[in-house]
Amino acid sequence: MSPTDPDLDPAVHVLQGVRRQQPLVHCLTATVSMGLVADGLLAAGARPMMTETLEEAPTLTTLADALVINLGTLSTDAIAGIPATVAVAVRDARPWVLDPTAIGIAPVRTPLARTLLDSRPDVVRGNASEVLALAGEGRGGRGADSRAVPEHAEHAAQRIAARTGGAVAVSGPIDLVLSSTRRAQVERGTALLARVTGTGCLLAALTAACRAVESDDFTAALAATTWMSLAGEAAARRSTRPGSFRMHLLDALDEVGR
Amino acid sequence: MSPTDPDLDPAVHVLQGVRRQQPLVHCLTATVSMGLVADGLLAAGARPMMTETLEEAPTLTTLADALVINLGTLSTDAIAGIPATVAVAVRDARPWVLDPTAIGIAPVRTPLARTLLDSRPDVVRGNASEVLALAGEGRGGRGADSRAVPEHAEHAAQRIAARTGGAVAVSGPIDLVLSSTRRAQVERGTALLARVTGTGCLLAALTAACRAVESDDFTAALAATTWMSLAGEAAARRSTRPGSFRMHLLDALDEVGR
Amino acid sequence: MSPTDPDLDPAVHVLQGVRRQQPLVHCLTATVSMGLVADGLLAAGARPMMTETLEEAPTLTTLADALVINLGTLSTDAIAGIPATVAVAVRDARPWVLDPTAIGIAPVRTPLARTLLDSRPDVVRGNASEVLALAGEGRGGRGADSRAVPEHAEHAAQRIAARTGGAVAVSGPIDLVLSSTRRAQVERGTALLARVTGTGCLLAALTAACRAVESDDFTAALAATTWMSLAGEAAARRSTRPGSFRMHLLDALDEVGR
């Protein structure tokens, strides 16, 4: 690994915190990307937990240092388990991150995501289409695919941040991270991240891990986005093919900033 | 990568179509292989979507360019969601592929697969045991494992093709692809494909992606089978061990025919 | 691969048995690690099957050579399907392995795991926290994470073995395998195994594969633990980063002892 990248400087203390404190992150996340999310959290130094049933998820989240709710694939178990699990996180003042994956025309997740805003997620992480749909300004994307670009979602992101009091991260070729008082762009990363399933889900989970060790929402969200972008670049230097890129991405999450 | 393989020639325009049009493929597929299927579609140039609930899958499939139904692991969500999702695909004239994974003695999926034939899948993709069981001529395999060889399933495949009006692909050491008027064998590939979970599921999803850009069922099925076989061979040239072979297979799906 | 490791000698006939007989292992296992478990079984020479519904899992388990029940993530389908599936395995005298993942405070899996002991699993495989919780001596870990060390769980493991008449494997930096009359420690392996999701689940499934070909519970459990530990070491010689280590681990399961 090359020496630390200057763009990583503001995030280094967050990375180090995750590696030192090894936060336990409870993930109610898309089935398809559970493996990448769990392996990515472990590579970053955090620890995953992934139960989603109403019967067990609320109890288990009392053990967690942070929670991430991702609506991709949204099983019946998750539909039942998410509201009660978020309620426990809110009650216990655990930080939590909302990833409104593929909202738009989907009839359950779209109103669910909007309702969850009332529970004030510390960070919302989505692509531009999802952020627009969450703010009620767009129709949403096709699956996890985004037709909109982050700049177009800035106003929507600001409205969400005003409502939650937290941060919003809009993923895209240029990532946008903002809160009601701060704003940053991350012009790093690689288009290869979009050729591996679940990198957005992993970014949301990594954001929860960062937020577990850094109480400032904006700083945590920016650190996670930077971490993922630089890991993506490091992986892209080793392979431009999607199978080997995925492997190198996990390795790079472990290497960045050391 | 070596220059284009002559066996790939008839499939090249389909590969190029998938890479150019990036079809969105809605997959109701085995939980165990969701990751490989999604990453494989992305590697091939297509885009996956994987919601299976009755509440959301039918609506989301209206966005898709093709649908694949795979019965492996068959969750309660999928049991409920599959018939309504197929009905929407049929209503909207979206191409769809049926993969009758592990039918035989399983009491839900076996009659479900036979009923789904009434909805006339554009392509059926299975191993010999599954094709025999689907046609009511055999008892089925053990899990996704096949005791029968493709040649023995040819008559069963012909009966299925006559009933659906579409194509049938029988996977095995020699792959057989046929429709009521055409027939081809693919004597390529590698036994290593059977040492990675979900390569059959991925072939079915890849077939759906090919069918989204190529309206002839037989041509699409043959293109997908050829694509996967040649990618398997390319991967096998790089590694004969299953973990690294899996990674090289994803890379090779991206490389074949370029 | 280096020549066979002397520590592997007592396990070699079990490895060879798995590779020769290719046992079909029915896995009701954590969703997050299904991919690694299935690919790991295939790499080892066994064959996976992964249906968990009440409607189909009991019937399909009649085809299997062994069964593994893992309680991680525990979906509603698995909650319904596990008791009836275990009952079929017991009725048909199929060997079965219990992995009481993340029991402790979880309100469904904790009493379920204790009840399943009445069905006398041939092998119980867990970390120290889980084994303590299963014996009613501890509060359990945080997720799949273990705060306790194997030595502290030895008394609990002995009590479980006395109750089931089978073997117990306690995973940790030093693995402990015991039955009511025998005891062994495996001081091999690598801490990297804890940086990949599902290696414990895979060890449980591998134990079931070994038990399918070796009727002695203790010998089978010790062989699986040794196999996984030596594969981990072989992988660690190739990479110390988690993404590439995971790939090399699968390759090494295929290579160890050849």
The helix (run of H) or strand (run of E) holding residue A220 is: helix A217-238
- CB within 8 Å: B56 and A30: no
Give tens-digit pLDDT for C83-127. Answer: 999 999 999 999 999 999 999 999 999 999 999 999 999 999 999
Which stretches in chain B have pLDDT values below 50? 1, 142-143
* Mutation choice for A interface testing from C34, C36, C75, C202 by most A CBs within 10 A: C75
Write out residues 69-88 of C within 8 Å (CB-CB) of B: 75-77
Residues B179 and B161: beta-carbon distance below 8 Å: yes
The answer to the question of residue A139 being in a domain is yes
- CB within 8 Å: B197 and C249: no
The answer to the question of residue C3 being in a domain is no
The answer to the question of residue C43 being in a domain is yes
ipTM over 0.85: yes
The verdict on C157 touching A (C-beta cutoff 8 Å) is no
**Cα distance between residue B22 and residue B25, in whole Å:** 9
Q: Is B105 helix (H, G, I), strand (E, B) or coil?
A: coil
Give tens-digit pLDDT for C131-189. Answer: 999 999 866 654 455 566 677 899 999 999 999 999 999 999 999 999 999 999 999 99
Cα of B208 to nearest chain C Cα, Å: 22
Sequential DSSP letters for chain C: -PSPPGGGHHHHHHHHHHHHH--EEEEE--GGGHHHHHHHHHHHT-EEE----TTTHHHHHTT-SEEEEE-SS--HHHHHHHHHHHHHHHHTT--EEEE-TT-SS-TTHHHHHHHHGGG--SEEEEEHHHHHHHTTSS---BTTB--S-GGGGHHHHHHHHHHHSSEEEEESSSEEEE-SS-EEEE----GGGGGSTTHHHHHHHHHHHHHHH---HHHHHHHHHHHHHHHHHHHHHH--SHHHHHHHHHHHHHHTT-
pTM value? Answer: 0.97
The answer to the question of residue C69 being in a domain is yes
The verdict on B63 touching A (C-beta cutoff 8 Å) is yes
Does residue C2 have a pLDDT over 90? no
Which of B73, B195, B246 lies nearest to residue C51, judging by beta carbons? B73
In this structure, which amino acid lies at residue B148? A
Which tokens hold the place of A229? 């972008």
- CB within 8 Å: A143 and B38: no
The pLDDT assigned to B140 comes to 60
CATH value at residue B40: 3.40.1190.20
Q: Is C240 exposed, middle or buried (0-12, 13-18, 19+ CB in 10 A)?
A: middle
The verdict on C248 touching A (C-beta cutoff 8 Å) is no
Chain C residues within 8 A of B142 when measuring between CB atoms: 24, 47, 49, 63
Q: Which of B246, C27, C32 is nearest to A247 (CA)?
A: B246
Residues A66 and A98: beta-carbon distance below 8 Å: no
The verdict on C242 touching B (C-beta cutoff 8 Å) is no
How many domains, chain C? Answer: 1
**Cα distance between residue B85 and residue B66, in whole Å:** 11
Which tokens hold the place of C67? 């069964």
Sequential DSSP letters for A227-258: HHHHHHHHHHHH--SHHHHHHHHHHHHHHTT-
**Cα distance between residue A228 and residue A43, in whole Å:** 12
Give residue A202's domain range: 8-253
**Cα distance between residue B114 and residue B160, in whole Å:** 10
The pLDDT assigned to C152 comes to 83
In this structure, which amino acid lies at residue C57? A
Contact partners for chain C, using 3 or more CB pairs closer than 8 A, are A, B
The answer to the question of residue B1 being in a domain is no
Size of interface A-C (CB pairs under 8 A): 104
Chain C residues within 8 A of A59 when measuring between CB atoms: 105-107
| pLDDT tens for chain A, residues 1 to 258 | 456 899 999 999 999 999 999 999 999 999 999 999 999 999 999 999 999 999 999 999 999 999 999 999 999 999 999 999 999 999 999 999 999 999 999 999 999 999 999 999 999 999 999 999 999 986 665 445 556 667 789 999 999 999 999 999 999 999 999 999 999 999 999 999 999 999 999 999 999 999 999 999 999 999 999 999 999 999 999 999 999 999 999 999 999 998
The pLDDT assigned to B152 comes to 83
Q: Which of B154, B195, B156, B159 is nearest to B177 (CA)?
A: B154
Chain B residues within 8 A of A35 when measuring between CB atoms: 35
The answer to the question of residue B255 being in a domain is no
CA dihedral C102, C107, C112, C117 (to 10 degrees): 60
The verdict on C191 touching A (C-beta cutoff 8 Å) is no
Residues C113 and C135: beta-carbon distance below 8 Å: no
Does residue C3 have a pLDDT over 70? no
Residue A131, CA distances (Å) to A81, A117, A149, A177, C106 in order: 23, 12, 10, 12, 34
- Bridge partners (DSSP) of residue B69 are B28, B98
Average pLDDT, chain C: 95
The answer to the question of residue A127 being in a domain is yes
DSSP B38: H
Q: What b/e sequence results for C112-128 when a residue is b if at least 16 CB atoms lie within 10 Å of its CB, and e otherwise?
A: bbbebbeeebbbbbbbb
